[in-house]
A = this chain, B = another copy of it.
Amino acid sequence: MATVTIIGSGMMGSALAFPARENGHEVRLVGTHLDREIIDACRQTNRHPKLAPVFPAGVRFYQIEEIDGALDGADLVIGGVSSFGVDWFGDFALPRVADGTPVLTVTKGLMDTPDGALLPYPVLWQRKLDQLGKRLPLCAVGGPCTSYELAAHDQTEVAFCGRDAAALLRAKRLMETDYYHISLSKDVTGIESAVALKNGYALGIALTIGLNQARFGDDTLHYNSQAGVFGQALREMKKLLALQGADTPDNLAVGIGDLYVTVYGGRTRLAGILLGRGLSIGETKRELQGVTLESLVVAGRVARALRVRAEKGEIDLNDFPLLMHVDGILTGHKPAQLPWEAFTFENL
């Protein structure tokens, strides 16, 4: 039996308590300063307020000021914060983890730099660790996994990535179950980019749902349109992965699987539908107030990086008509209608 400490009791961090605890480990779920009510509720009901199943018996819950006790003796630390908690996790949480402890983070996203690079969060955290002279094997989870379906024990395929093969193998051994299947990759940029790049594309596919609802006046789903955008998304994601030096079949498969689940499972879908129906980005955000739309933030960063690289002459924005269109909608410069002709090709 090992000890697994999860920092951040959002839905995904909490869902990972299921495979960890079912594998017989001691599981300690620590809320951030934003999670105080969640931890209170978990203590009272043994259930996360937004997840249907109760936790397996024996999961222990900690408020943020109890974090040091929760980290004491941990064999694996899971970081379960959102994109908005990336700095907090690096500044507050990681320094408290004992040297040498494998850390596995679920936060999906990329940070753009002024020169148009797109950096995965583990790269940013590694820089902070290097400054502190602290050695923690950083691993991250990518791939198609919604938290509520993981908690429901749905068959799920994910990929753990990290630079330290031994840490990856250890994390896999602690976490894998007969429903949580884990691939391993040392290509951190590849896996992390694949699952972050999907954000703008998931919105693009969801747009078609809203566009068709507005046009046909019903809730019928129209798959030709979704599939047309899905194919274009694949073409653009493959080019973006190549820009990241990471265009491999495995990375693409993880990213495309993640795109597939995001079209259905996520909040991005709802934003896309509202925009497709004709709401402005401001109206959409008001309609979804209180909902974390970190995927839109990440999509905007990718578009911003591409614009920088286009200005430097390194890429042609015409190779990314779908992403740039989505960015135009998000920044309020374009209507939702999609540039369908730009998605065609001629190989003659």
Q: Are A224 and B154 in contact (CB under 8 A)?
A: yes
Known: A149-B224, A155-B224. A230 touches B260 (CB 8 A): yes
Answer yes or no: A280 CB below 8 A from chain B CBs: no
Residues of B within 8 A of A159 (CB): 345
Q: Are B347 and A145 in contact (CB under 8 A)?
A: no
Answer yes or no: A338 CB below 8 A from chain B CBs: yes
Bound-state Cα–Cα, A226 to B149, Å: 11
Q: Are B258 and A227 in contact (CB under 8 A)?
A: yes
Copies in the complex: 2
Q: Are A256 and B253 in contact (CB under 8 A)?
A: no
Q: Are A181 and B343 in contact (CB under 8 A)?
A: yes
Residues of B within 8 A of A150 (CB): 224
**A321 to chain B: closest CB distance in Å?**
12
Q: Are A347 and B225 in contact (CB under 8 A)?
A: no
Answer yes or no: A208 CB below 8 A from chain B CBs: yes
Smallest CB gap from A342: residue in B? B181
Number of residues of chain A lying within 8 A (CB) of chain B: 64
Partner of A226 from the list B165, B260, B344 (CB cut-off 8 Å) is: B260
Partner of A340 from the list B155, B231, B341 (CB cut-off 8 Å) is: B155
Answer yes or no: A228 CB below 8 A from chain B CBs: yes
Bound-state Cα–Cα, A343 to B235, Å: 23
**A212 to chain B: closest CB distance in Å?**
7
Smallest CB gap from A165: residue in B? B348
Task: Mark interface residues in A208-230 (1 if CB within 8 Å of B CB, else 0).
Answer: 10011000100001111111101
Smallest CB gap from A239: residue in B? B249
Residues of B within 8 A of A265 (CB): 223-224
Answer yes or no: A184 CB below 8 A from chain B CBs: yes
28 contacts between A and B (CB under 8 A): A143-B228, A149-B223, A149-B224, A152-B216, A152-B222, A154-B212, A154-B225, A157-B227, A168-B348, A169-B348, A181-B340, A184-B344, A184-B345, A184-B346, A184-B347, A184-B348, A186-B347, A226-B260, A226-B261, A227-B257, A228-B257, A231-B253, A231-B260, A234-B253, A235-B249, A238-B249, A238-B252, A250-B347
